[in-house]
Structure 1
Amino acid sequence: MKQEIRLFGAIAVRPAVLALIPQFERATGLTVAAKWEVNPTVKKQIEAGEPFDLVIINADMVEALAASGKVEAGSQRAFGRIGMGVAAKAGSRPLDIGSTEAFKRALKDAKSIAYASDGTSGGYFSSLLDRLGIADEVKPRLVAAPGGQTASAVGRGEAELAVVPVTSILAAAPDVMLVGRFPAELQSYIDFDVGIGADSSDAEATRQLSEFLVSAAADEVLAAKGVERRHKSI
């Protein structure tokens, strides 16, 4: 019996990758065991010795893991990028966030806003509030949510809006809807790469999974789940 491929990935890519794994398993007969955490936690746990075969996290973090010998040199490949969006409870009134001013107004008018305080997206949003000059007004109404639960907090009525990667919003349907993506001038794409573990238990099987995830065969599913391709490999 072949050993499972241990995939360790960021919560933001979970909805897209989970939709792809059954296709890979059917085509290869291999099995994938996936674990998910926010980006910084994935990197920290791998640095502390967490065993893994394939990792999918922020591109710069994969690069750092390669530099420290945790990821196989030369195995880093561009996976995709995910933009930031605003979520509201399904059926909520339409909300204009199409410009910087409209976006600021929507945040200032919201009674509460959920964000992933421990993730990459949360860090960006917090700095964006400072940049927009509305931090003092908005931050008291922020609701810190654990990774993977930010969009769902809106569906449960714990916050009026949520700011989170688009993938997480789409995955929270039908209780949650995508109000819209951040305006182009405020958008921040989170880049994700894949990397093979230097101590992978089955390097050939892991390489097959890596190749599948970055192949054109996965493009349609990724696009439907909110992941845009980055075709430049590192």
Structure 2
Amino acid sequence: MHQQIRLFGAIAVRPAVIALIPQFESATGLTVTVKWEVNPTVKKQIEAGEAFDLVIINPSMVQDLTATGKVKAASQVAFGRVGMGVAAKAGSRPLDMGSVDAFVHALKSAETIAYASDGTSGGYFSGLLDRLGIAEEVRPKLVAVPGGQTASAVGRGEAELAVVPVTSILAAAPEVVLAGRFPAELQSYIDFAIGVSANPRDPEAARQLSEFLTSASVDQILAAKGVERR
């Protein structure tokens, strides 16, 4: 049996999955190596030949990889979903995010707003600005930051606020705090699914990791890291 499982996943779920891996490794004696990119990049790299045993990205992307023979048919399972939030520097003035009007006011009042321009969350936020009719006013304030560094940019003083999945904000503590989640009317949940490679080095090991990550026993840890189960 191969002792190493190659996990390739989306940056948004990194904080939650990283918290679970030691438990899995201790229970099985297997080792998990990880690589993280924004959702579109994960898909592109796998399509280009990146070797992996297990992938965690958007469900539609797992389906695409299954259709092209990269992911094993019928191996897709739901992992969870992550909501969108606003990050602020620890110690900064509290923000009101309790309504659409308050949310819009916070965006208009901020001097700079970091967002993951190359990720799923960045695409949603950009479209949301258009829907709210504030794109012309807010877009000049936007600071494009590579995925995985968006929330941390606030802690480094590169932006006043950051719009990013809640998981990334919680992981950037204590320098960064969750100023608030998107109002319910504007909230967008990013869904994630797991797929097993069509050519895993060790099919049984990959299956074990997939089952562990989707088991009810880890729900509490995932929730604390910002991943919601349906």
TM-score between both structures, scaled by the size of structure 2: 0.99
Equivalent residues in 2 for 1:10-159, closer than 5 Å: 10-159=10-159
Q: Is residue 167 of structure 2 the alignment partner of residue 193 of structure 1? A: no
3-state SS in 2 of match to 1:66:
helix
Deviation of 1:22 (Å):
0.2
> What are the Cα deviations for residues 24-72 of structure 1, in whole angstroms up to 9, with x where unaligned?
0000000000000000000000000000000000111011111111100
Deviation at 1:98, TM superposition (A): 1.0
Contact (CA 8 Å) 2:11, 2:147: kept in 1 or not? yes
Q: Which amino acid aligns with 2:39?
A: N
Aligned-partner SS, 1:124: helix
Match of 1:226 in 2: 226
The SS at the match of 2:227 is: coil
Whole-angstrom distance in 1 between the partners of 2:7 and 2:19 = 14
Within 2, Cα distance between the matches of 1:122 and 1:104? 17
In structure 1, how many angstroms separate the alpha carbons of the residues matched to 2:94 and 2:141?
Answer: 21
Contact 2:11 2:38 in 1 (8 A): yes
Per-residue Cα deviation, 1:167-191 (whole angstroms, up to 9, x for no partner) = 0000000000000100000000000
CA RMSD after TM alignment: 0.7
Counterpart code for 2:56 = I
> In 2, Cα distance between the equivalents of 1:3 and 1:221?
25
What is the deviation of 1:224?
Answer: 0.3
Q: Could you say which residue in structure 1 is the equivalent of 2:216?
A: 216
Query: Partner of 1:126: helix, strand, or coil?
Result: helix
Rounded Cα–Cα distance in structure 2 between residues aligned with 1:24 and 1:3: 12
Using the aligned pairs only, state the percent identity.
Answer: 80
Q: Does 1:183 align with 2:183?
A: yes
Give distance in 1, aligned partners of 2:24 and 2:136. 48
Distance in 2 (CA, whole Å) between partners of 1:26 and 1:120 is: 33
Q: Tell me, in whole angstroms, the C-alpha distance in 2 between the residues paired with 1:59 and 1:108.
A: 33
Q: Secondary structure at the match of 2:36?
A: strand
Runs of 4+ with >2 A deviation: none
Q: 2: CA distance between counterparts of 1:189 and 1:6?
A: 26
- Alpha-carbon distance in 2 for matches of 1:191, 1:57: 8
- Paired AA for residue 144 in structure 2: A
How many Å separate the matches in 2 of 1:228 and 1:53?
24
Deviation at 1:2? Answer: 3.0
